[in-house]
Amino acid sequence: MRDSAWGFPIVDFHCHFPVPDPAPPPAEEEYRWRHGERKLAELRRNWRWYQEQWWDNYSFPYPEEDEPAPDIQAGRWSAEIESGQLEAVAFMTGGGNKVLAEAIRDYPRMHGFAHHDPFSPGAAEELRRAVSEDGLRGYKVIAPALPGAIDDEALTPVWQAAEDLAIPVLVHFGPLDGGGGTTAHVSISPLKLHDVAKAFPYTTFVVPHFGCGYPGDLLQLAWACRNVCVDTSGNNEWIRWMPYPLTLADLFRKFLETVGPERIIFGSDSGHFPRGLVRTYYDEQTRIVNQLGLSPGDRNLIFTGNAARLLGLGSAA
C-alpha cells in the first residue's frame, strides 16, 4: 500500500464515473408524460438553483455541460488518483455496466459497480454477467428511483445473485439529487431494507451518506442487521435541513459509538469535472477523524481496510 496525500493509505469507496446517462430516468419520463415538458423544465431549473447554491458555497466549478468520451474521462480520473496517491477508487455509476467496465478495464486502481435497475427484465442474470464477465465488484441501487419498493419479493433473485457472487450491495436512501430532487418515495427510509438484509445475512449492504436525512433510521437498521454498513460520502448537505442541530463530526462520533469502525467506510462521492477528486471532503473527514482521536488501526479500517475487504483487493485489506 502507498500513503496518500493525506499521510496514510486511502481507498475511496464511493465515486461516480462522469459519462452521460444512457437514457432519462423513468421517473422523469413519467413526469413528462403526466405533466408536460414545460413543468419538467421548471423542475429542472429549481434543481439547478439548489445545486448552484452548494457549488458556490464550496467554491466548486460548475460541471461540464458536455462530458468527453469514456476513455478521456478514465485518463483524467487516473491522473486524479495519482495526484492524490490513492490506493483505489470504486465507481458506483458510469453510464451502464458495460460502458463503465470497458472504460476502467486498463486501470488497476479503478473498480466499478453494476448499477442497472433491479426491476428490469433479467436483472439477476445481468448482475451475474456484469460481475463474472466484466469484472465489476459490487451492485449499486438507488432506492428512491425504483419503480417499486426495494423489499418487493420480485427482487429476490437479484439479492440471491449478489449473495452467490459474494459482492457488496450499496443502496442509496433518503433525498435523491439533493434540493429540488425527490424526498418522498415508498423506499425513502433505510428501514425499508430491513427484511432484505435479514433474508440475506451473508451479503454486506452499505447505506451511503450516513443515511442521507435518515440517520436515526439507519442506526436502527444497523442495530438490527449486523450486515449493514454505512459510508461517509458526499457533501452531506442534507445535514443543514435537519430540524435539530447536527454536524458531520456528530455523525462520525455516533456511528463510531454504535456500529463501530469495522462498519464505517470512507467515500467522497467525487465525479464530475473540472472538480474531479473532491479534496475538500477528504480534508474535512480526515480532520474530524483526527480530532476524535481514533487509533491508526481504526482509522485504517474506515479509510482503507473495510473498502478493500469488500472490493476484494487482497493485500490492501
List the chain domain ranges: 11-316
pLDDT at 21 (0 to 100): 74
- The pLDDT score that the predictor gives to residue 180 is 82
| Half-sphere CA count of 238, side-chain side, radius 13 A | 22
CATH class of 11-316: alpha beta
In whole angstroms, give the CA distance from residue 6 to residue 288.
13
Please report, for residues 118, 184, 220, the alpha-carbon distance to residue 217 in angstroms, rounded to integers and kept in the order given. 23, 15, 5
Render pLDDT for 258-306 as a digit per residue (tens, 0 to 9).
999 999 999 999 999 999 999 999 999 999 999 999 999 999 999 999 9
Residue 131, pLDDT score: 98
Long-range contacts of 133-136 (CB under 8 A, 24+ apart): 134/97, 134/98, 134/101, 134/102, 135/101, 135/105, 136/97, 136/100, 136/101, 136/111, 136/112
Contact 200, 159 (CB under 8 A): yes
Query: Which has more pLDDT, 138 or 54?
Result: 138
Mean pLDDT of all residues in 1-28 = 89
Residue 25 pLDDT? 74
> Which of 56-70, 142-156, 190-204 shows the lowest mean pLDDT across its residues?
56-70
pLDDT in tens, 223-269: 999 999 999 998 888 999 999 999 999 999 999 999 999 999 999 99
Decide if pLDDT at 178 tops 90. Answer: no
pLDDT at 315: 60
3-state secondary structure of 69: coil
What is the spatial distance between Cα 308 and Cα 88, in angstroms, rounded to a whole number? Answer: 8
Band the pLDDT of 159: cuts 50, 70, 90.
Answer: very high
Answering whether pTM is above 0.85, one says yes
pLDDT of residue 289: 96
Q: Are 299 and 307 in contact (CB under 8 A)?
A: no
Query: What are 174's three cell numbers?
Result: 433518503
pLDDT-derived band at 317, boundaries 50, 70, 90 = low
Backbone angles phi, psi at 159, to 5 degrees: -65, -35
179: confidence class by pLDDT, cuts 50, 70, 90: confident
**DSSP E strand boundaries for the chain:** 11-15, 88-91, 110-112, 139-142, 169-172, 205-207, 228-231, 264-265
At 96-129, the pLDDT tens digits run 999 999 999 999 999 999 999 999 999 999 999 9
Give the chain's radius of gyration (CA, Å): 19
